[in-house]
C-alpha cells in the first residue's frame, strides 16, 4: 500500500529518493519522508500530504548523504501527520526504518519497551520496529544480528528498509508478505517496493522472497534466509520501458491507460492465438484434457475490479465449457473454510499480484493441495511466484489507482482460458472457435472506435455532473459490467453509485428512484434486451434520467431513454469488454468535471497489501 525506496552508492541520495518516491506516490499518498546517512549521522525529513510538501521542506532544509531510505505512506495505524510519517527512528536516531505492511503484535512489544524506558512519539506500529532493533543493538549485538533478533519478535506483514547510524556503508532490506526488490547498479544499489521507482537507474533486480534479508552495500549485495544462510538469486531483467510508467502527454494516467487498451488487448490475443493457429496456446499452463479430468471444482477468487473480471470468467467457463464455477471475493473466501482438495482448480486474478487477501486465498488453496492458476499483470509478484501456473496479461505498469487496462486484459485472458477449457473438454468445435478468433482479432479496432468518440461520454458527464445517486443496471454479462462501471464511478468521482441486476430492482431498490436519479442501463446482450427495456421503463416512470449503453443499430430505445451511447456489435461473449469502455470514460469525465484527484483518489491505494 505504501511505497519504499532506498539508495546506497556514490551519488547524493536525496534526489534519487525523491524521484523514486514520485514514481511510487500512486501506492500511498497521505505523507512522505526520507532518512539520509551523511557518513556521521542520520538526518530525517517528513511531511504530511503529497510529496510536493516534502520537496518544499527539502529545498528549505537540504540534507546530504549517499545512503538513504524514503517512504510514501497510506495510513493504517495513526492518522496522516508529520509525526506518523515514515521513516521512524529510535529516540537518538541510531536506527531508522521505513515499512510497508502491518506489525500485528506491536502493542505488546510497545508495552514491553515502554516499561524499559523507551519513549514512543507516533501512533504507528512501525516505530516499534525501530525501537526493537535499537534495543538489541544497544544490548551489544551488531546491526545485522539486531535486525534478525527483532525479526524473531515481530509478527505480521512487512517490507522494511533499515539504516543504522554506526554503519554508514550498509542498507538492510527485509521482506515478509510485502513486495520488495533490490535494484543492482554499478557502484550503487537500490531497494524499492515497486520497480518504477528505480527503473531510471537499473533494469536488473533481485526479487526478495518472504523471510529474506538483503544486506546491501555500494558494491555488494548479499541475501540471507532467516537461518542466516546466504541465498543465491537469479537476476531478473525488466523488459518494459520507462515510458510505460510515464504519462506520455496525457493529463492523467487513467486516461492514458484507458487509451492503451486496444494495443494491450491485441497483444494478449496475438500472444496466445497466432494468426496461423486454430487453437489457443496456453503454453506452460497445465489445462490440458488430462489435467482437467482431475478437476471437479473450479473457484475464481479476486478483489475489486479483478473480481469483476473473475465474475465474467466464471460466467464464460460455465457458458462454454459447462463446468460449474464458484466466484468469490478473496476477503470472504479465505474465512469460509472453502472445500479444497487436489481435484480443485483455483483461478486467482490480480493486477498487482500482491493483494493480501488474494495471496492468502492462494496459500490456503495450496495448503489443501489444490492447483492454482494466477491471472496476473506484475511479473515476479508474490501471487505469480506462488501459483502453479501463471497467465501473464503483460499490460505494463498500471499507475492509476482505478484499474482499467488491467481489467480488459484480465477479461480477455479469462475468455481465452474459458474457450481453451471448452475445446479441451469437447464443448467447443474448431469451427466455433474460428469465429471467436475472428471476433477477438477485430476487438482492438472496435475499442479504438469507442475511444475516438469519447466526446459523447464527456458531454454526458457534464450534463449529469450534479447527480447525487447513480444506479447501474443490466442483465447477465451486462450486470457484471454494471458492477465494474459503478465501482469506477465511486472510487474516482466519489459519487454514490450502486449496481443492480435489472430484474432485481423492483424487489427493493426501486424505492430509491426519484426525480432525476441517474440510471445507466447496460443493454448490450441482445436476447435480454426486451427484459432490460421493461426495467428501463419502470425507472423512467418514476422520474429517473436514463443513459443506455447499447449496440449500434438498436433503435428500440427511441423515446424510452434520455441518452444512448452506442458501441460496435461483437460476439456477445466479447461484448462486455466493449460495453465497459464507455463506463470507464464516463467515470473519468465525471471525476474530471468534479475536480477530484483522478489518479490518486482519496483513501485508496494501488495495491492493497493489508487485510
Whether 178 sits among the annotated catalytic residues: the reply is: no
Question: Does 43 help bind ligand AGP (rule: CB under 6 A)?
Answer: no
Q: Are 301 and 348 in contact (CB under 8 A)?
A: yes
Tell which one of 72, 193, 355, 535 touches ligand AGP (CB under 6 A). Answer: 355
Per-residue x/- track, 440-479, ligand AGP (CB under 6 A): ----------------------------------------
C-alpha angle 474/606/357, rounded to 5°? 75
Question: Does 309 help bind ligand AGP (rule: CB under 6 A)?
Answer: no
Count of residues in the chain = 611
Per-residue x/- track, 393-432, ligand AGP (CB under 6 A): --------xxx-----------------------------
Tell which one of 25, 127, 212, 491 touches ligand AGP (CB under 6 A). Answer: 491
Catalytic annotation, pick one of 2, 66, 178, 303: 2
Q: Which is nearer to ligand AGP, 35 or 268 (CB)?
A: 268
Rounded least distance, CB 585 to ligand AGP, Å: 15
> Residue 77, CB half-sphere, CA atoms under 13 Å: how many?
19
- The Cα 397–Cα 418 span in angstroms is 25
Rounded least distance, CB 358 to ligand AGP, Å: 5
Rounded least distance, CB 244 to ligand AGP, Å: 17
For residue 45, give the 3-state DSSP assignment.
Answer: strand
Rounded least distance, CB 349 to ligand AGP, Å: 7
- The Cα 407–Cα 350 span in angstroms is 9
Rounded least distance, CB 110 to ligand AGP, Å: 30
Catalytic annotation, pick one of 57, 437, 545, 606: 606
Q: Are 254 and 586 in contact (CB under 8 A)?
A: no
Q: Are 389 and 348 in contact (CB under 8 A)?
A: no
Question: Does 483 help bind ligand AGP (rule: CB under 6 A)?
Answer: no
Q: Which is nearer to ligand AGP, 4 or 402 (CB)?
A: 402
> Residue 501, CB half-sphere, CA atoms under 13 Å: how many?
7
- The Cα 159–Cα 106 span in angstroms is 15
Whether 303 sits among the annotated catalytic residues: the reply is: no
Tell which one of 6, 20, 183, 304 touches ligand AGP (CB under 6 A). Answer: 304
Rounded least distance, CB 356 to ligand AGP, Å: 9
Per-residue x/- track, 569-608, ligand AGP (CB under 6 A): -----------------------------------x--xx
Residue 12 class from Cβ within 10 Å (0-12 exposed, 13-18 middle, 19+ buried)?
middle
Rounded least distance, CB 402 to ligand AGP, Å: 4
3-state SS string over 93-112?
CCEEEEEEEEECCHHHHHHH
The interface with ligand AGP within residues 140-179 (CB under 6 A) comprises none
- The Cα 252–Cα 595 span in angstroms is 12
Question: Does 124 help bind ligand AGP (rule: CB under 6 A)?
Answer: no
Buried b (16+ CB within 10 A) or exposed e, 208-237: bbbebbbbbebeebebbeeeeeeeebeebe
- The Cα 51–Cα 71 span in angstroms is 10
Interface residues toward ligand AGP, by CB under 6 A: 303-306, 350-352, 355, 358, 401-403, 491, 604, 607-608
User: Which residues are designated catalytic?
Assistant: 2, 606
Amino acid at each position: 500500500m505504501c511505497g519504499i525506496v532506498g539508495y546506497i552508492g556514490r551519488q547524493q541520495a536525496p534526489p534519487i529518493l525523491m524521484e523514486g518516491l514520485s514514481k511510487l506516490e500512486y501506492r500511498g499518498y497521505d505523507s512522505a519522508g526520507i532518512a539520509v546517512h551523511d557518513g556521521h549521522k542520520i538526518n530525517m525529513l517528513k511531511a504530511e500530504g503529497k510529496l510536493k510538501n516534502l520537496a518544499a521542506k527539502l529545498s528549505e532544509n537540504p540534507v546530504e548523504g549517499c545512503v538513504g531510505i524514503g517512504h510514501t505512506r497510506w495510513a493504517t495505524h495513526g492518522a496522516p501527520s508529520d509525526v506518523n510519517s515514515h521513516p521512524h527512528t529510535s529516540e537518538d536516531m541510531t536506527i531508522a526504518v521505513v515499512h510497508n505492511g502491518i506489525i500485528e503484535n506491536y502493542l505488546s512489544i510497545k508495552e514491553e519497551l515502554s516499561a524499559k524506558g523507551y519513549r514512543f512519539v507516533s501512533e504507528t506500529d512501525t516505530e516499534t520496529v525501530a525501537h526493537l532493533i535499537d534495543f538489541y543493538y544497544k544490548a551489544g549485538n551488531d546491526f545485522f544480528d539486531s535486525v534478525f533478533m527483532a525479526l524473531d519478535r515481530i509478527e505480521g506483514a512487512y517490507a522494511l528498509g533499515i539504516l543504522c547510524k554506526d554503519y554508514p556503508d550498509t542498507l538492510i532490506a527485509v521482506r515478509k508478505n510485502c513486495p520488495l526488490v533490490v535494484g543492482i547498479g554499478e557502484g550503487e544499489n537500490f531497494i524499492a517496493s515497486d520497480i518504477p521507482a528505480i527503473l531510471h537507474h537499473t533494469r536488473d533486480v533481485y526479487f526478495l522472497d518472504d523471510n529474506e534479508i538483503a544486506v546491501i552495500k555500494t558494491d555488494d549485495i548479499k541475501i540471507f534466509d532467516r537461518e542466516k544462510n546466504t541465498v543465491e538469486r537469479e537476476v531478473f531483467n525488466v523488459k518494459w520501458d520507462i515510458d510505460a510508467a510515464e504519462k506520455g502527454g496525457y493529463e492523467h494516467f487513467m486516461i492514458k491507460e484507458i487509451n492503451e487498451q486496444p494495443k494491450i488487448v491485441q497483444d494478449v490475443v496475438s500472444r496466445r492465438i497466432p494468426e496461423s493457429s486454430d487453437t489457443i496456446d496456453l503454453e506452460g499452463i497445465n489445462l490440458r484434457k488430462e489435467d482437467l479430468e482431475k478437476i471437479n471444482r473450479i473457484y475464481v477468487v479476486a478483489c475489486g475490479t479483478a473480481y469483476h473480471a473473475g465474475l465474467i470468467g466464471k460466467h464464460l467457463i460455465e457458458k462454454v465449457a459447462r463446468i460449474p464455477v464458484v466466484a468469490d471475493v478473496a476477503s470472504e473466501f479465505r474465512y469460509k473454510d472453502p472445500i479444497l482438495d487436489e481435484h480443485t482448480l483455483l483461478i486467482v486474478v490480480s493486477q498487482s499480484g500482491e493483494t493480501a487477501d488474494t495471496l492468502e486465498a492462494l496459500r490456503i488453496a495450496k495448503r489443501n493441495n489444490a492447483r492454482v492458476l494466477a491471472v496476473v499483470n506484475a511479473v515476479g509478484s508474490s501471487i505469480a511466484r506462488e501459483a502453479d501456473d501463471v497467465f501473464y496479461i503483460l499490460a505494463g505498469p498500471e499507475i492509476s489507482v482505478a484499474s482499467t487496462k488491467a481489467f480488459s486484459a484480465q477479461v480477455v485472458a479469462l475468455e481465452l482460458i474459458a474457450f481453451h477449457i471448452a475445446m479441451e473438454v469437447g464443448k467447443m468445435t474448431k469451427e466455433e472457435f474460428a469465429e471467436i478468433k475472428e471476433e477477438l482479432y477485430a476487438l482492438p479496432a472496435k475499442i479504438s472506435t469507442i475511444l475516438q468518440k469519447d466526446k459523447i461520454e464527456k458531454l454526458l458527464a457534464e450534463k449529469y455532473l450534479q447527480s447525487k445517486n447513480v444506479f447501474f443496471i443490466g442483465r447477465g454479462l451486462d450486470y457484471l459490467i454494471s458492477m465494474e462501471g459503478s465501482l469506477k464511478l465511486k472510487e474516482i468521482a466519489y459519487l454514490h453509485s450502486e449496481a443492480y441486476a435489472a430484474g432485481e430492482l423492483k424487489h427493493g431498490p426501486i424505492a430509491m428512484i426519484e426525480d432525476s436519479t441517474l440510471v445507466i442501463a447496460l443493454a448490450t446482450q441482445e436476447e435480454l434486451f426486451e427484459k432490460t427495456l421493461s426495467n428501463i421503463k419502470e425507472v423512467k416512470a418514476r422520474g429517473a434520467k436514463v443513459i443506455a449503453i447499447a449496440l449500434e443499430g438498436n433503435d428500440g430505445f427511441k423515446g424510452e431513454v434520455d441518452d444512448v451511447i452506442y458501441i460496435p456489435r461483437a460476439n456477445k461473449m466479447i461484448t462486455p469488454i466493449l460495453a465497459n469502455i464507455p463506463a470507464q470514460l464516463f467515470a473519468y469525465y465525471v471525476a474530471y468535471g468534479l475536480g477530484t484527484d483522478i489518479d490518486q483518489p482519496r483513501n485508496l491505494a494501488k495495491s492493497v497489501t493489508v487485510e
